[in-house]
Structure 1
């Protein structure tokens, strides 16, 4: 059976979680946090264990199935889908830890919630058998309910500082509630502060391993994926799922009122943009599962994610034009989806100008000219 066809059952449990998240979505937007029932549903659904090795009770899942699950959940609540996507990605990153680190994270079960800080905002100094880590990391999604954080920091030494990731359990870091974005309100993307915490060597790995996809401790295919191929997929999936939810909300609103040709044209045009974005995102997942890690395909994955972000952002603008003033009613879900998609697609990983997605793919195009 091809890897991409593996069915771990995530689709069915994602559908169940979607219904639960829909019931709490409005309150999550207001309170800026996921309901305890939804957090429990995330754990039960298995997003955290999706990329964990079966040796530790994990799923050994694929990117294709993960994307399908994230799209399903995000149609109901973008914040829940965002957290689901990042929980899976964080477990995959943590698979780069040495074997003793795997046992500490997953020896008691595969569902540990890990929140990741990708930006190297801290500094580490060598200590007995490990490091002392200090720093402040912003935008750590899901930290409200994380069991662990995985934070990137610089280790000073001879020559340029080495960038490494460090895994710390809850209790060894402080959370400062700084997340006040207009969209994706319930992701809990707060600031984490660490003050001289000791991190043993088995709870650290080189950032270069994650970037290149080189894993010295696991031969599982999904643990050996270059970051360029998969990084943006983590963030664009929830945005596209939220756009699908917005399309349903806009169509339902228009079905119950007098419609105009212009509104229907906007609706159909938006649906085309959203479908195109979904196909591009699904293509990215299939490329990763097929292990097509050529420079051209990795550059195309970056382009697909950034372009999909533009497509769904434009689609949401069209849906609001179609819905008119009613689409901005605070009691309705369309304006929430609009804010969520706007916030999600502003992420640095989806920006053409910052990720160099355009330059990387243009190089592939010019090479074939």
Structure 2
């Protein structure tokens, strides 16, 4: 409702954020970053605190709630939804820090804006009390407005897996390197750390996150294995983008402007097809979110979730593509929401976590293994 005061941590107010983000979407696209007003509202309604443990004032919320809120924001601006979802996901990493690290991150409140460089491209040299970290991490969304950054690097000890290091804003700089064709408003620039000291309480092994070995929290959002949940963070904005494209197309059919062909019946068919594809994708993502929120998952569910997310995004790309092509020349002008959603979903779908070929093979393998087990045949692990 207009004039309603947003309560901190209330993701149910995501619709108001969507309206604000939509008003700023063209400027965000042009300037390659979200406006400060949009960032503030994303924080205000609770995206940053959504996965923060309750003992630090957070919500320790569900993936189902985050999916719904992110998709709502995405209908107004895909870039805003992406930054919102990834801010929640990066904040979740804090639950794997030692207790003193969590206190430093959230001791003054749960709304710190955390970003993450997920690829282990940096280096860490062990020194008394911690590590000296240096390196560059590309494609860090929302970094200009961040308070902290998790950066990943190879473990300094032989045989040790990669580690995440939490670095305060004063210890990293940002290179303006984000010049993409889609998702332009995410401001996914490059983080540079020039030899920052990171104490031991601000680091953890990446394996802990993969396995869901959090510190001091038994909430499911902290104990769920990463592969069960990570695809949702990246797929949810695409669901919103498709809904935004459908709304833009519906406005054309509603009389404000005609579809390119002038054939309303064809426009209705395109609309019905796109809505059906988006609805199917939404159901896949809802199932994946419900699985991520369960107390435990089966081996089949664990590999089905990445598949569900990748397949959902495939459907969403096809839905937007159908409408964009049907819009003709008029839909391709700068400032038209439809062309922005089209650029965004195609760009988003290229993310490594959403590649259908990568996700489908483990799922197919597990399906075959499960079928053999039910039939009493040899399982794959036995080699027979």
Task: State the TM bucket, normalised to the shorter chain.
Answer: over 0.9
Q: Secondary structure at the match of 1:337?
A: helix
Determine the structure 2 residue equivalent to 1:249: 248
* Alignment pair present for 1:349 and 2:353: yes
Determine the structure 1 residue equivalent to 2:85: 85
| Contact 2:9 2:44 (8 Å CA) reproduced | no
Q: Secondary structure at the match of 1:155?
A: coil
Counterparts of 2:191 and 2:137 in 1: how far apart (Å)? 5
* Alignment pair present for 1:61 and 2:65: no
- Deviation (angstroms), 1:326: 1.9
- CA deviation digits over 1:30-85, x for unaligned, max 9? 11111111111111111000111221111121111111100100100111100110
Determine the structure 2 residue equivalent to 1:3: none
Determine the structure 1 residue equivalent to 2:323: 319
Determine the structure 1 residue equivalent to 2:142: 142
Q: How many residues align?
A: 359
Determine the structure 2 residue equivalent to 1:236: 235
| Contact 1:250 1:327 (8 Å CA) reproduced | no
Counterparts of 1:45 and 1:31 in 2: how far apart (Å)? 24
- Deviation (angstroms), 1:9: 6.7
Determine the structure 2 residue equivalent to 1:42: 42
- Deviation (angstroms), 1:309: 1.4
- Deviation (angstroms), 1:141: 0.5
Counterparts of 2:64 and 2:160 in 1: how far apart (Å)? 36
Counterparts of 1:208 and 1:331 in 2: how far apart (Å)? 44
Higher alpha-carbon Rg: 2
Determine the structure 2 residue equivalent to 1:4: none
| Contact 1:130 1:199 (8 Å CA) reproduced | yes
| Contact 2:130 2:197 (8 Å CA) reproduced | yes
Q: Secondary structure at the match of 1:175?
A: strand
* Alignment pair present for 1:97 and 2:101: no
* Alignment pair present for 1:25 and 2:29: no
Of 65-74 and 214-223, deviating more is: 214-223
1:281 to 275, 285, 291: 285
Counterparts of 1:121 and 1:228 in 2: how far apart (Å)? 21
CA pair 126-9 structure 1, distance change in 2 beyond 3 A: closer
Counterparts of 2:62 and 2:9 in 1: how far apart (Å)? 11
Q: Secondary structure at the match of 1:119?
A: coil
* Alignment pair present for 1:309 and 2:308: no
- Deviation (angstroms), 1:335: 0.4
Determine the structure 2 residue equivalent to 1:167: 166
Determine the structure 2 residue equivalent to 1:360: 362
Q: TM-score with structure 1 length normalisation?
A: 0.94
- CA deviation digits over 1:214-235, x for unaligned, max 9? 1233222211111110111110
| Contact 2:115 2:149 (8 Å CA) reproduced | yes
Determine the structure 2 residue equivalent to 1:189: 188
Determine the structure 2 residue equivalent to 1:300: 304
- Deviation (angstroms), 1:12: 2.7
| Contact 2:129 2:200 (8 Å CA) reproduced | yes
| Contact 1:284 1:304 (8 Å CA) reproduced | yes
Q: TM-score with structure 2 length normalisation?
A: 0.91
Of 211-220 and 17-26, deviating more is: 211-220
Of 109-118 and 264-273, deviating more is: 264-273
Q: Could you list the runs of 5+ residues in structure 1 that have no partner in the other structure? A: 1-7
Counterparts of 1:360 and 1:272 in 2: how far apart (Å)? 27
Determine the structure 2 residue equivalent to 1:215: 214
Of 256-265 and 54-63, deviating more is: 256-265
Determine the structure 2 residue equivalent to 1:224: 223
| Contact 2:11 2:46 (8 Å CA) reproduced | no
Determine the structure 1 residue equivalent to 2:205: 206
- Deviation (angstroms), 1:182: 0.9
| Contact 2:125 2:156 (8 Å CA) reproduced | yes
Counterparts of 1:313 and 1:245 in 2: how far apart (Å)? 12
- CA deviation digits over 1:180-230, x for unaligned, max 9? 111111101001111211100000000000011112332222111111101
Of 168-177 and 256-265, deviating more is: 256-265
